[in-house]
Amino acid sequence: MLRQGVRIRFPLGAAGAILLAARVAAAAPAQPSVELRYSAEDSVVGCHSEPTFRHAVRQRLPFDPFVAPPNSAPIVVTVRIDRSEPELRATITLTEPDGVAQATQELTEEHDGCATLSAAAALAVSLTIERSLVRAAERGNSTPAEGAPLRVVGAQAPTSQLLAPSPSGSPDNGQPPTPAVTSKRPPPGLPGSKRDVRNVIDVHTHAGGGIGLGILPAAAAGARAGATVELERWTAGVEAGAWLPAEASSPPGGGARARLVFLSGSVCGRHGRFFACGVASLGDLRAAGTEPLLSRSSGSTYVAFGGRAGLEVPLHHPFALVLYTGLIAPLVRTTLRIGDEMLWRAPLAGAELGTSIRITIL
């Protein structure tokens, strides 16, 4: 009987590849944890809140740096935004887990745009975290190709933007790293520059009151509340409010009382603490006689357009005090009459003066 031997050959190259992959996996550096310390000077408005800033950093990384692995020493990243006349400045300091090696970078914005500066700082922090992982891989005798591949989501940034030590102060020679050269602006077109609108949207709510002249038959007190969405130097918002009843009287006797309930929309431009808005209002203006025999009520649709300008004063974050004044012109001028006698006719424009408390919620 003829027997045919069967031999199984295991390629040497495949075995080597498996062993190499195992060594690389064992040598791959652990994903670092990051402790973020973020703050903004109270006098600087429009900056990211800490949750917004943290989300902007996390979104640009392929992992969540704020989830700490067990028994790991964190990288400490400190971000401070303040005013250094005539510009805003973001100072970013990286402290390695050993607490000795540090690197510092500064970003500045000359046109008082803290939303843009916050986004640029978030980009710099994400790049810093990735660079720190590269250095950890180098210290473990592993290259990024052998360890965890690194990338910046949505951007290709030059290494000059990283908080990296200079060659003379690299970890290889046992000396602490020297601070990187200060970068004044993020490169155009990268996330965090003025062309990128991701993660720079803030949401605010507000409530307040004021006094109106020429809106109702007499000076009237009013109240309003609403919400706004802010994108860099522009905001859009809606609010609901009411002007409390005001009376007009007739010399022979009798009179009328009017009140207004409205819903408004606005678009505003900001420059530093100052803002100017275009406003459109739609409401219900209702009047009733004040005498028992003349107590019939009537109503009309109120449509008006106008403008508003004001000042925002930062309080303790997330609160701010808003002071404003404005003019509002009705599309149709309302007239109040008793019989043939005209009690009041709305002027071409009314004025308002008010204040509100604004709260940043996102």
| CB 247 within 8 Å of CB 290 | yes
**Which pLDDT score is estimated for 321?**
94
pLDDT band at residue 262 using 50, 70 and 90 as cut-offs:
very high
pLDDT band at residue 68 using 50, 70 and 90 as cut-offs:
low
Token pair 């900056």: residue: 47
Least confident of 21-35, 143-157, 306-320: 143-157
Q: Is 211 helix (H, G, I), strand (E, B) or coil?
A: strand
pLDDT over 60 (residue 199): no
Q: Is 94 helix (H, G, I), strand (E, B) or coil?
A: strand
Token pair 């709305």: residue: 346
C-alpha–C-alpha distance, residues 201 and 227, integer Å: 13
With respect to residue 82, please indicate whether it lies within any of the assigned structural domains: yes
Kindly report the CATH number assigned to the domain that includes residue 234. Answer: 2.40.160.20
- Amino acid identity of residue 44, one-letter, is V
DSSP type of residue 170: -
Query: Which residue range forms the structural domain that includes residue 137?
Result: 12-173
Instruction: Output the CA–CA distances (angstroms, integers) from residue 320 to 53, 138, 165, 229, in the order listed.
Output: 19, 47, 40, 15
| Higher pLDDT among residues 26 and 79, named by residue | 79
C-alpha–C-alpha distance, residues 32 and 147, integer Å: 13
**Which pLDDT score is estimated for 292?**
59
Q: Is 93 helix (H, G, I), strand (E, B) or coil?
A: strand
With respect to residue 193, please indicate whether it lies within any of the assigned structural domains: no
Could you tell me if 32 and 166 lie in one domain? yes
What integer is the mean pLDDT of 51-76? 79
Identify the bridge partners of residue 213 per DSSP, sorted by sequence position: 351
Could you tell me if 58 and 151 lie in one domain? yes
pLDDT band at residue 24 using 50, 70 and 90 as cut-offs:
very low
| Higher pLDDT among residues 195 and 328, named by residue | 328
pLDDT over 50 (residue 4): no
CB burial of 50-89 (b: ≥16 within 10 Å; e: otherwise) equals: bebbbebbbebbeeebeeeeeeeebbbbbbebeeeeeebb
Q: Per the structure block, which two tokens stand in for 200? A: 């720079």
Q: How far out from the chain centre does Cα 249 lie?
A: 49
Could you tell me if 107 and 238 lie in one domain? no
Could you tell me if 20 and 142 lie in one domain? yes
Q: Per the structure block, which two tokens stand in for 12? A: 């040497």
Q: Per the structure block, which two tokens stand in for 118? A: 């916050």
Could you tell me if 208 and 333 lie in one domain? yes
Could you tell me if 205 and 80 lie in one domain? no
pLDDT over 90 (residue 206): yes
| CB 185 within 8 Å of CB 106 | no
Question: Of 342, 326, 352, 341, which Cα lies nearest the Cα of 260?
Answer: 352
Percent of the chain with pLDDT over 70: 68
With respect to residue 178, please indicate whether it lies within any of the assigned structural domains: no
pLDDT over 50 (residue 170): no
pLDDT over 80 (residue 40): yes
- Write down which residue in 123, 158, 173 finishes a domain: 173
pLDDT tens-digit map of 177-191: 444 434 444 444 344
Instruction: Output the CA–CA distances (angstroms, integers) from residue 294 to 249, 259, 260, in the order listed.
Output: 12, 17, 20
Q: Is 168 helix (H, G, I), strand (E, B) or coil?
A: helix
| CB 44 within 8 Å of CB 82 | yes
C-alpha–C-alpha distance, residues 269 and 109, integer Å: 18
What integer is the mean pLDDT of 59-71? 75
**Which pLDDT score is estimated for 298?**
78
Could you tell me if 124 and 238 lie in one domain? no
Could you tell me if 340 and 211 lie in one domain? yes
Could you tell me if 144 and 223 lie in one domain? no
Q: Is 209 helix (H, G, I), strand (E, B) or coil?
A: strand
**Which pLDDT score is estimated for 69?**
66
With respect to residue 192, please indicate whether it lies within any of the assigned structural domains: no
With respect to residue 186, please indicate whether it lies within any of the assigned structural domains: no
**Which pLDDT score is estimated for 99?**
67
**Which pLDDT score is estimated for 48?**
84
Side-chain-side CA neighbours of residue 113 (13 Å): 20
Domain count of the chain?
2
**Which pLDDT score is estimated for 70?**
63
Could you tell me if 346 and 282 lie in one domain? yes
Could you tell me if 109 and 159 lie in one domain? yes
Got the DSSP string for 255-324?
Answer: EEEEEEEEEEEEEEEEETTEEEEEEEEEEEEEEEESSGGG--EEEEEEEEEEEEEEEEEE-STTEEEEEE
With respect to residue 167, please indicate whether it lies within any of the assigned structural domains: yes
Could you tell me if 29 and 151 lie in one domain? yes
